[in-house]
Amino acid sequence: MALFTELKSVSALKAHFDDVKDLHMRDLFAQDPERFSKFSATACGLELDYSKNRITEKTKKLLLDLAREANVEEKRDGMFAGARINTSEDRAVLHTALRNQADNEVIVDGQDVMPEVRETLAKMKTFVEEVHNGTRTGYTGKPFTDVLAIGIGGSFLGPKIMTEALKPYQVDGLKVHFVANVDGAHIHDVLATLPVESTLILMSSKSFGTQETLKNTLTAKEWFLNNGGRFEDIAKHFMCVSSNIKAAVEFGMDENNIFPMWDWVGGRYSLWSAIGLPIALSLGFDNFEALLKGAYAMDEHFKSAPLEDNLPVLMATLGVWYINFFGAQSHVLLPYDHYLRGFPAYVQQLDMESNGKSATPQGDYLDYATGPVIWGGEGTNGQHAFHQLIHQGQVLIPADFILPLTSQHEMSNHHAMLASNCFGQTQALMQGKTAEQVKAELADKGLSDEAIEKVVPQKVFAGNKPSNTLLMDKLTPETLGQLIALYEHKVFVQGIIWGINSFDQWGVELGKVLGNDVLAKLEDTSIELDGDASTNALIERFRKRSL
């Protein structure tokens, strides 16, 4: 497979870039009243307006040529069929099997994985219903009132952020709390609010080897035993989700309390598995199933829609256009929905842990950019803060605006105000404000020519800042499932185009190993400091801290 920079379509795009890089979207809109209908598409419950991008019809054609030349369609079909595309770990990539609603087989190592997936879903359903109807109780016989979910990375962000996003769907009587950080302040504060006899502790770790999660679980166990729980009560209160059953049992988990997951599910793609139990406990199993169904609908769209209308492919190729041709280094996500405020952090792990790579699976080092920095926050708050840089800064930051058209709560005209800000921002980014407009405005206010000349450059908006707008009727479990799957597939398509493996994460390993070495030196002052001068000095300073 040729490297990205060797593809014919990349050369064609380079030449085309020189032709179009100075076109202004303001002019493109003025020239073509059909621009919106040409550059918008729908999938399941999502509508994408990508007309406010620095593209022409030729750009779109060339970007889709790139997707075809990179074999996106063939590789996509391979992923769904269980090909071992995570080559450095020799694993299939089958988060899509977890939400598969059809009755086809999905074969890994000669075995259909679907019966085990369905069996686990059935086990989750029974468990969730027993907790909700009070047949599963704590050691005093009291129904559970609280769940403490412990996990980090993909074993935390998905469950936490989706539970938060679907707050209006949460069941009464059961509160789900999350702890991820090894900073003891987090678990300290959460445990202080929890009743021992009615708290269920759910530990999620695919590997069952993550330091933060193991430590927090041990702390929770200590808290349980020091506050009324007895050793023989542990099985009633502690559950876990892991693909490493052996380590979980060795840790002391009751084998009946372990929900399985599989090595063909990546951590950041795992909320569809039993890792999603906190979501199901918080929202009810029917809503968890609706989330799966929504994602499945997006899977079907991704598999079957022509590339011209394929939302993940369109968003992925537009990202490549800005990163590799315009030199954009970041991408901002702006959900105009308070409940979706955590979504940028979710996509941050999904995208940056997947595509932050420097080599191909064949061993070539890359000399082109891959994944962008993903960041963002809820609209409208950012408008009064970091939007300044997006509007007038010296870097190009493509943006995704996300807006549910219907609010979860009718609060007079709040929602129209929210939507007006969302649409107004995309308009301002696109059209900008010219020096002539600024001058006319200031002259109307009676400013002198001299005063006008001084201030014009500060008041000019260059515009031509690209954005996508994603709309949905309402934020529901289904539409949220579609939205997450859309970004998963966008990241997949970009990884294919860049020729990288989006499903390993070796970049997080070195820090873990060195961190363990440092921990030993912090805890045992007799260990000689044999590192670099900076790290030695920092360790020394910690050893001398005031206690």
Residues lying near ligand F6P in the complex (CB under 6 A): 152-155, 205-207, 210, 213, 267-268, 353, 505, 508
Neighbouring C-alpha atoms within 13 Å toward the C-beta of 378: 10
**Closest approach of ligand F6P to the CB of residue 500, in Å:** 16
Scanning 134-156, the segments in alpha helix (DSSP H) are: none
* Measured distance CA(463)–CA(429) in Å, rounded: 5
Q: Are 39 and 53 in contact (CB under 8 A)?
A: yes
Q: Are 357 and 501 in contact (CB under 8 A)?
A: yes
Q: Are 194 and 146 in contact (CB under 8 A)?
A: yes
**Closest approach of ligand F6P to the CB of residue 244, in Å:** 8
In the set 197, 353, 378, 478, the catalytic residue is: 353
In the set 246, 384, 409, 544, the catalytic residue is: 384
* Residue whose CB is less far from ligand F6P, 76 or 206: 206
For the record, the structure tokens of 210 come out as: 């993550």
Question: DSSP 3-state assignment of 244?
Answer: coil
For the question of residue 24 being annotated catalytic, the response is no
In sequence order, the 6+-apart residues with CB closer than 8 A to the CB of 199 are: 138, 144, 145, 146, 147, 148, 237
Computed on alpha carbons and rounded to an integer, the radius of gyration of the chain in Å comes to 26
In the set 167, 441, 512, 540, the catalytic residue is: 512
**Closest approach of ligand F6P to the CB of residue 261, in Å:** 9
For the record, the structure tokens of 272 come out as: 């569809």
For the record, the structure tokens of 339 come out as: 């409940």
**Closest approach of ligand F6P to the CB of residue 340, in Å:** 21
Q: How far is CA 169 from CA 130, 136, 273, 279, in A?
A: 19, 22, 20, 10
* Residue whose CB is less far from ligand F6P, 206 or 415: 206
**Closest approach of ligand F6P to the CB of residue 252, in Å:** 17
* Residue whose CB is less far from ligand F6P, 207 or 516: 207
For the question of residue 300 being annotated catalytic, the response is no
Q: Are 206 and 153 in contact (CB under 8 A)?
A: no
Question: DSSP 3-state assignment of 31?
Answer: helix
User: If you search the block for the tokens 């020729």, which residue do you land on?
Assistant: 499
* Residue 497: its H or E element: helix 477-498
Amino acid, res. 243: S
Q: Phi, psi at residue 170, to the nearest 5°?
A: -65, 145
* Residue whose CB is less far from ligand F6P, 65 or 212: 212
For the record, the structure tokens of 442 come out as: 């200031």
272 closest CA partner among 242, 293, 248: 293
For the question of residue 353 being annotated catalytic, the response is yes
**Closest approach of ligand F6P to the CB of residue 265, in Å:** 10
**Closest approach of ligand F6P to the CB of residue 155, in Å:** 4
* Residue whose CB is less far from ligand F6P, 236 or 268: 268
Amino acid, res. 323: I
**Closest approach of ligand F6P to the CB of residue 274, in Å:** 12
* Residue whose CB is less far from ligand F6P, 15 or 510: 510
* Measured distance CA(237)–CA(143) in Å, rounded: 11
* Residue whose CB is less far from ligand F6P, 327 or 515: 515
Question: DSSP 3-state assignment of 83?
Answer: coil
* Residue whose CB is less far from ligand F6P, 98 or 307: 98
Amino acid, res. 489: H
Residues designated catalytic: 353, 384, 512
